[in-house]
């Protein structure tokens, strides 16, 4: 019971956000209009966007492999990325990020703590791209002053975060020695934290390798370009009058919507962000929701196919991976508790 109450503090706020947004969607949407929009969508264009959704995932794997300094095989990275997105779709606490690092560490020879920094860098740069795309779209959206302030705030935080990671990467020995001095009174933290931090700082070394970081930014830019094209084609299938500028705002809103605490897979927040962004251009809430649900379907499709193949290759199941991750977390918590008592 105690464990449930402790865990509920983590998942309950996100669940409430999702429930409120789902309720709002159910209230405002005319489902007959939405169904008619689905029936009359341009399925040739939608077929092309399916291909783009898979291309996005293949390219995202290349982004991650570049951050990993090309140490793991591309296919291992691809399947691990697919498994991570599949886990995020169905498991709480965004366990997919931890899960893909855990699964890749088992087949690549790289340590878990060496892989984790690359995921953090990837996510921070994703936020930077999201802020840039959202800011680029604001001139096309009426009454955007408040959104601009949010975009600038997020952009500033992201830049500050990257700068901090760069400083740590450039001064890794100083950071490690400082941590060891400060944690000397707690032997478990000193031992485990020092080992983890050493590998974490080693992973941040990508930020100090100019050519490697440029390659990473190239693939990331290409990846976001595919995402923009994919969202544009999905929107075009439902709204023939759609403009490319719409996609900037839709994708930026979707990215920030996915960062809000919610049920697994961003249920409610993802649909709410996309449909609200499209509504500003179309004044058609019901068809906008059809676009959002199609984008959701494509996310499930590419992660289920690639992630499902990856799990089958490794003889794993979603439940099995979840239990392993929970076991790893509980073991760490028990070790921390034992050390605190000692």
Q: Which residue has the higher pLDDT, 172 or 15?
A: 172
Domain ranges of the chain: 74-341
Mean pLDDT of 14-37: 81
Global pTM value: 0.81
CB 180 within 8 A of CB 194: yes
- Residue 75, φ and ψ in degrees, nearest 5: -65, -35
H-helix segments, 68-111: 74-90, 95-108
pLDDT in the model for residue 7: 55
Angle between the 285-313 and 43-67 helix axes, to the nearest 10 degrees?
50
Q: How many CB atoms lie within 10 A of CB 93?
A: 16
- Measured CA to CA, the distance from residue 131 to residue 151 in angstroms comes to 5
pLDDT in the model for residue 297: 92
Q: What confidence tens digit (pLDDT) does each residue in 224-272 have?
A: 999 999 999 999 999 999 998 899 888 888 887 766 766 676 777 888 8
If DSSP codes are grouped into helix, strand and coil, which group holds residue 260? coil
pLDDT in the model for residue 14: 62
Q: Which two tokens stand for residue 321?
A: 């991976």
CB 207 within 8 A of CB 164: no
CB 287 within 8 A of CB 34: yes
Q: What confidence tens digit (pLDDT) does each residue in 281-331 have?
A: 999 989 999 999 999 999 999 999 999 999 999 888 888 888 888 787 766
pLDDT in the model for residue 186: 67
| 105-119, 191-205, 217-231, 249-263: least confidently modelled range | 191-205
Q: Which residue has the higher pLDDT, 170 or 30?
A: 30
CB 88 within 8 A of CB 119: no
Mean pLDDT of 35-42: 93
Share of the chain above pLDDT 90, in %: 33
pLDDT in the model for residue 136: 77
Flag whether pLDDT at 54 surpasses 80: yes
Q: Which two tokens stand for residue 17?
A: 């956000």
């Amino acid at each position: 019971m105690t464990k449930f109450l402790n865990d509920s503090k983590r998942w309950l706020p996100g669940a409430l956000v999702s429930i409120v947004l789902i309720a709002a969607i159910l209230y405002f949407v005319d489902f007959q209009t939405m169904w008619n929009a689905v029936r009359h969508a341009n399925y040739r264009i939608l077929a092309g966007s399916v291909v783009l959704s898979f291309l996005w995932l293949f390219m995202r794997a290349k982004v991650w492999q570049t951050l990993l300094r090309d140490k793991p095989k591309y296919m291992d990275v691809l399947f691990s990325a697919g498994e991570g997105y599949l886990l995020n779709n169905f498991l709480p606490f965004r366990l997919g990020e931890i899960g893909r690092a855990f699964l890749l560490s088992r087949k690549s020879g790289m340590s878990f703590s060496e892989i984790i920094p690359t995921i953090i860098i990837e996510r921070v740069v994703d936020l930077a791209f999201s802020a840039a795309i959202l800011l680029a779209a604001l001139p096309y959206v009426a009454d955007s002053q408040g959104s601009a302030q949010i975009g600038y705030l997020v952009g500033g935080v992201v830049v500050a975060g990257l700068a901090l990671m760069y400083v740590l990467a450039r001064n890794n020995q100083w950071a490690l020695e400082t941590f060891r001095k400060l944690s000397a009174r707690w032997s478990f933290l000193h031992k485990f934290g020092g080992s983890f931090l050493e590998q974490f700082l080693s992973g941040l070394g990508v930020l100090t390798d100019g050519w490697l970081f440029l390659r990473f930014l190239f693939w990331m830019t290409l990846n976001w370009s595919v995402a923009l094209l994919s969202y544009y084609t999905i929107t075009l299938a439902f709204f023939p009058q759609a403009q490319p500028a719409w996609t900037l705002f839709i994708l930026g809103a979707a990215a920030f919507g996915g960062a809000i605490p919610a049920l697994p897979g961003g249920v409610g927040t993802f649909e709410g962000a996309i449909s609200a962004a499209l509504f500003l251009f179309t004044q058609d809430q019901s068809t906008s929701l059809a676009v959002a649900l199609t984008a959701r379907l494509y996310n499930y499709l590419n992660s289920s196919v690639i992630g499902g193949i990856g799990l089958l290759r490794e003889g794993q199941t979603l439940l099995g991976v979840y239990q392993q991750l929970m076991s790893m977390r509980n073991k760490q918590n028990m070790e921390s508790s034992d050390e605190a008592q000692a």
